Structure 1
Amino acid sequence: MKNIPAVLEYHDRTKHRPSRYAASLGYMDWATQPDPFRRYENAPLIALKFNDNTPPYHLLFEPNLLPEAPLCIESLSQLLRYSLGLAAIKSHGGSEWALRCNASSGNLHPTECYLILPPIAGLNESTSLTHYAPKEHALELLYRYHESIGEDTFLIALSSIIWREAWKYGERCWRYCQLDAGHAAASIRISAAMLGWECTLIAADSSEISALCGLDQCARYDVHERESPDLLFQIRRGTLNKPSLPSLIESPANRLSHSHHHWPILETIDAATQGSYPSPIRLKQKRRTPPPSKSSGEIVLKRRSAQMMDGSSITMEQFRQMLDASLYCQDTADVHFVLFVHRIEGLEKGLYICIRDPDELQSLQNAMDPAFEWFDCTEGLYRLQKGDYRGAAQMISCNQEIAKDGAFSFGMLCRFFESLERDGAIGYKNLYHQCGMIGQILYLEATSLGLSATGIGCFLDDEFHALLGLQDQRYQSLYHFTIGRAVIDMRIATYQPYTH
C-alpha cells in the first residue's frame, strides 16, 4: 500500500480541468516525433504468411464452438495479423500513415509484443523469444533458450514505450499507455478466439515479465525509450514452463527519437505501479451470442476511430447489443457505464447508468446524487434523469463535438479506491487495462453493426464526477467513448497495408 499516495497524486495532478489541462508541451514537436515501429539491430527477421480465412464474427462468442487450430507458423501469423498487425495505410496531401488492428491514443501505439514460443516448423528449432514487427508482419528472433516452454502452449507479453505517448500528451500520457495496453490485450483475445484458442491472463509480477523479455537489460535501450512491462498471457491450454534468460540479448533496440522532453512524474507513476498483477474479478453474467455477422477478420480490419459523427439515431436493439458486447470482457467487473443518451429509438434522452456488476447497485446509489430517479429500464440499465445532455457531453469531452453528435456517449466509471485497497498501486494500472479491453470490444461490435466508435481520453474528470454528485474517490471515470455513425472524409485514400 506504500505506493498508493503516489497513485492518488498522479491521478489528481493529471486531471483535465476547465481552466487548466494536464501538463504537456502544448504544441507538436515534429522534429522529435518517435518512430512508430520498434526494431532490434542484428535480430533475424522471419516473415509470416497471410491467411484470410477467418470465421464469422458472431461465432467468436460461443464457447467451444470453433475447432482449435494447430499451433503452426500459419496460425501464429493469423493471430498476430488480426490483433496487432496493420489494418490499412492512409494517404492524404503527400503524407502516409499506418492504422493498426488495435486502437491507440493518437495512433501513437506505445504497446510492444513479445512471444515466447516452443519449436515451430519454419520458425525456430528450439524455444525462442521473439518480437513482433507489425510493419513487416514478421517476427524478430531475439534469443534461443536451452530449456523447453512446453509443446502446445506459448506466452505473449505486452510492454509500453511511454515516450511514444509522452511526446504528444505529456504527463497524462501514462493513462493512455495503459488504455492502449488494454486495447491490445482484447485484440489478442479476439484473434485467439478466431483460432479456437484460449487466452489466459497470468497474474505475473512486473519484474518477471521484464526478465522474460529482456526489458531489464537497460543498456539495450535509450534511457528515455525503455519499455515498461504490462501484461502476460498464456495462449492455448497445456503445461507451461517459464524459461529464463541466463545471458545478455545481443540485439539492441533502435532509437525512436533523436532528442526527448523529460517528464519526471511519468517515472514516478510507472515505478509505483510495478508489482504482482492482480487476479481478475469476473463478471457474473456473460454476453449472449449476437446475430449472424460478417467474417471476423473483415470486421477487425474495418475498425476505425471516427473523427466526426453525423448526428443520426440508432435502434434500441443496436444499443442493447453494444452494452451486452462489453460482457465478453469477463475480467472487467470494476467498470460501469454512465451514458449520455442522445438519439436511441425508443429510449428517452437523458442520463443513464449501466451497472455491469449488480452487487454494486446500492453502493452506486449511495455515492451519487440523491435526486436521481433510478428508473429501472431492465438488464442493468437505469435512467438517472431525463433531458438533453448533448451540451454536457460535449463540454465534459474537452468540448469535442463528436461526444454530442454520436447516438450516445458515456464515461467508464470505475470502482476506484476499493480497487487500490484490494490490489495495491498496480490496481490503478489494472483499471485502465479493464477500460481499454472494453473499448476494443465496443469498437469491433460497433463495426459489426455498421456503426462507428471513438475512444475519448480527453475529458474533464471532476466536472463529470460533479455532474453525478460524487463527493469522494470511491468511483472515478477513467475513459470516455462515443458511438454513432461516422462522417467519412473522402479526401483520404485507403490502401491495403502489406501490398501497398
Structure 2
Amino acid sequence: MVYEYHKTTKHAQHKYARSLGYMDWNTQPDPFRVYNGAKTIKLPLAIQNSTPPYHLLDAELPSAPVVKESISQLLQFSMGLAAYKESDGGSWAVRCNASSGNLHPTETYLVLPPLMQEQVGKSSIYHYRPKDHALEELASFETSFWKKLPEGSFIVGLSSISWREVWKYGERAFRYTQLDAGHAWQAFIVSAKMLGWKVNRLDSVSDADISTLLGLTQKTRFFEDENPDMLFVISPKDVNPKLSLDALVDSVPLKFEGIANKLSPSMQKWDIIPAIEEATSDAQIPQPTTLRSEITRTPSRESKDVVLNRRSVHVMQKDISTITKEQFHNMLSSILDSQDAKENSAHLAIFIHQVEGYQSGLYILVRNFRDRDDLEKEMDAKFRWSHTEFEHLYLLQTRDLCATSKAISCSQDIASDGAFSLGMLCNFTDQLQMYGAHRYKELYWECGAIGQQLYLEATSMGLSGTGIGCFLDDDMHGLLGLTNNRYQILYHFTVGRGYVDSRIATRPAYES
C-alpha cells in the first residue's frame, strides 16, 4: 500500500496528483480544535520571558522547574500562535511551527503528573488550544507510572487530522500531514532547549496505545478522524526511548470529557487516504541513541524572537539573496543529525545558485555515510563526487540549474531565486523492507524536522526559508540518474532573502 500510495501521489508535468482542483470554501476546515464541555485552563503568556540567545541553544543549559509557567512557555514557542496577518479585510493566524498551506493538521496533548494546582493530586490529560493559549482537561486519574521517570518529566502526544490537508491537496495530503508532524516535533525540541529540557521520542509505543492515551479511540467524541502520530517524554534528563507505557495506558479512563468540535459541515471522500493511514499504523520501530554535531553559530537574537519571526515566504529577492559560505555551512551543520541520528535516512540534493565560495551546480549532503557508496552507484555515473571543504558535502556537477530547479518545483520562482534550494532524498526501499510500513511516516517526520530547523537557522541569520511540497518527483529522480525506488525525494526547501509585502499588516497573536 505504501508503494502504491507513493507512486499514485507523485506529481508529473503531464499529471499532478489528484485533488479537488479548486478551493471549496463552504467546507474549509476550522484550523482550531476545541473540546466542547471540557474544563479550560488559561495559561500565562510567556512573551515577556527571557530566553537564551539562539546561538547558545545547543550548549548545556540549566533546567527550568516544571511548573505552569514553564509548560506555558514550551507550548507557546512550539505550537502557539506567532502573530496574526491582515489584508483586504481578512486575517489569518501564523504559528510557530511550519505547516503546508498554513493548514495545521497537527494537534497537541499533554499527559502530566500532579504538577499544577488544578490537578489536585491526580495525573491529567490535556489538549492544547493554541488560539487561546489554553489547556482543555480531558481526563484525570491515578497512576504509579511516573516513578519510572526522572523528576520533572511529562509526556507530549501529537496527532493529525488529515482532513485539514485533504481539503486543499486531495490525495497527496497524507505526505504533507506527516511533514507537518515532523515540523511540530522539531518545534518542540527547540522550545524545550530554551528551558534546558530534553525531548526523547518513545519508539516502542504502538499507534493503538497512543490513541488510547489521547482518547482518540472514543469515536463518538469526533466527527473527523484524528490519527496518532508520536509520543515523546520531556524531561531534564534523557530517557530510554524503549520505555514501556503499559502502566500508564492501563490507568487511563475509558471515557474522556469534552466533545471535539466539527471542523466542516461535510468532507470530500478520498479512499486512498484512510487506506494509507491504516497501512502505516503498525508499531513504531526501535530508534538508536541521538547523536549531536558541533554547531558554531554567530551571536544572534533571543531564541523566542527567532521562533516568533519564522515565516514561509512566497517571493525571493533574487538580486540580494547571495549568502556567505559561513552561513551555508552553519545551516548544513544544524541538520546533520536528526533525532534518528544513527538511522539518518534523508540526504540533501542541493541546487546552489548564490553561495559565496561555491560554483553554481548540483551537490549532495550525505547525512549518513552508510549510504555514501550506494548513492554513488545508484545515481548518474557522470557525477564527479568531488569533496568540498564541508566534510559531508560533495560536488556532483557544475552548471546553472536555476531553470531546472524552478521547473522541478512546479515552476515556482522561489526554487531558483534564492541562495540555494534542495530536495530531501531518502533511503526508501531498504528502510521500508527493514522496518515496515510505519517507517514511511517516520521518513516524512525526519524531513519535516529538517525543514523546521532550516526555517529557524535561516531566520536567525536574517534570511528566509520556505518548504516546497509541490515538486515533480520523478523529474528530480531523473536529474539525479535514479531509475528505481531505492531512494526517493520526499520534500523540497529553499533559502534566500524573502520579499516582505508591506500591504499585509501584522498584529500580536495574543492580547496581553
The bucket for the TM-score relative to the shorter chain is over 0.9
Separation in 2, partners of 1:121, 1:475: 47
Separation in 1, partners of 2:467, 2:455: 9
5 Å-filtered alignment, 1:442-453, equals 442-453=454-465
Q: Who is 1:242 aligned against? A: 248
More displaced 10-residue stretch of structure 1: 329-338 or 125-134: 329-338
Query: Which of 469, 477, 482 is 1:465 aligned to?
Result: 477
5 Å-filtered alignment, 1:78-477, equals 78-125=73-120, 126-150=122-146, 152-203=152-203, 204-222=205-223, 225-236=224-235, 237=237, 242-243=248-249, 244-281=251-288, 286-311=293-318, 312-331=321-340, 333-378=344-389, 379-477=391-489
CA-CA distance at 1:123 after TM superposition: 3.6
Alpha-carbon deviations, 1:89-139, whole Å to 9, x = none? 000000000000000000000000011001123342210000000000000
Amino acid at match of 2:248: K
CA-CA distance at 1:50 after TM superposition: 1.9
Question: Contact 2:292/2:337 (CA < 8 Å) preserved in 1?
Answer: no
Shift of the 200–284 alpha-carbon distance from structure 1 to 2, 3 Å rule, reads closer
Q: Who is 1:75 aligned against? A: 70
Separation in 1, partners of 2:388, 2:313: 29
The alignment partner of 1:324 has SS state of helix
Alpha-carbon deviations, 1:429-480, whole Å to 9, x = none? 0000000011101100000011000000000000000000001111000000
The alignment partner of 1:405 has SS state of coil
CA-CA distance at 1:53 after TM superposition: 1.5
Separation in 1, partners of 2:460, 2:118: 34
Question: Contact 1:61/1:289 (CA < 8 Å) preserved in 2?
Answer: no
The alignment partner of 2:127 has SS state of strand
The alignment partner of 1:242 has SS state of helix
Amino acid at match of 2:137: L
Q: Who is 1:3 aligned against? A: none
Question: Contact 1:101/1:301 (CA < 8 Å) preserved in 2?
Answer: yes
The alignment partner of 1:175 has SS state of helix
Question: Contact 1:131/1:140 (CA < 8 Å) preserved in 2?
Answer: yes
Separation in 1, partners of 2:349, 2:269: 35
Separation in 1, partners of 2:253, 2:127: 18
Amino acid at match of 2:464: S
Question: Contact 2:282/2:438 (CA < 8 Å) preserved in 1?
Answer: yes
The alignment partner of 2:381 has SS state of coil
Question: Contact 1:50/1:77 (CA < 8 Å) preserved in 2?
Answer: yes
Please give the TM-score of this superposition, normalised by the length of structure 2: 0.94
Question: Contact 1:33/1:167 (CA < 8 Å) preserved in 2?
Answer: yes
The alignment partner of 1:167 has SS state of helix
More displaced 10-residue stretch of structure 1: 273-282 or 226-235: 273-282
Please give the TM-score of this superposition, normalised by the length of structure 1: 0.96
The alignment partner of 1:270 has SS state of helix
Question: Contact 1:81/1:137 (CA < 8 Å) preserved in 2?
Answer: yes
Structure 1: give runs of 5+ residues left out of the alignment. Answer: 1-5
Amino acid at match of 2:315: M
CA-CA distance at 1:302 after TM superposition: 0.4
Q: What RMSD, in angstroms, separates the aligned Cα atoms of the two structures? A: 1.4
Separation in 2, partners of 1:286, 1:176: 28
Shift of the 484–335 alpha-carbon distance from structure 1 to 2, 3 Å rule, reads same
CA-CA distance at 1:283 after TM superposition: 7.2
Question: Contact 2:139/2:253 (CA < 8 Å) preserved in 1?
Answer: no
CA-CA distance at 1:58 after TM superposition: 1.5
Separation in 2, partners of 1:195, 1:128: 22
Identical-residue share of aligned pairs (%): 51
The alignment partner of 1:327 has SS state of coil
The alignment partner of 1:89 has SS state of strand
Alpha-carbon deviations, 1:380-402, whole Å to 9, x = none? 11110110000010000000011
Alpha-carbon deviations, 1:310-359, whole Å to 9, x = none? 01211111111111111352415101000011011110000110111122
Shift of the 458–430 alpha-carbon distance from structure 1 to 2, 3 Å rule, reads same
Question: Contact 1:59/1:289 (CA < 8 Å) preserved in 2?
Answer: no
Question: Contact 1:118/1:149 (CA < 8 Å) preserved in 2?
Answer: no
Q: Who is 1:484 aligned against? A: 496
Alpha-carbon deviations, 1:402-430, whole Å to 9, x = none? 10011100000000001101210001000
CA-CA distance at 1:147 after TM superposition: 1.9
CA-CA distance at 1:149 after TM superposition: 4.0
Separation in 1, partners of 2:294, 2:374: 24
Q: Who is 2:24 aligned against? A: 29
**Paired residue total:** 491
Alpha-carbon deviations, 1:138-183, whole Å to 9, x = none? 0000001122442521110100000000000000000000000000
More displaced 10-residue stretch of structure 1: 338-347 or 289-298: 289-298
Alpha-carbon deviations, 1:284-313, whole Å to 9, x = none? 661424222110001000000011100121
Amino acid at match of 1:286: S
Question: Contact 1:313/1:407 (CA < 8 Å) preserved in 2?
Answer: yes
The alignment partner of 2:364 has SS state of strand
Separation in 2, partners of 1:278, 1:73: 33
Amino acid at match of 1:176: Y
Separation in 2, partners of 1:119, 1:92: 44
Question: Contact 1:117/1:149 (CA < 8 Å) preserved in 2?
Answer: no
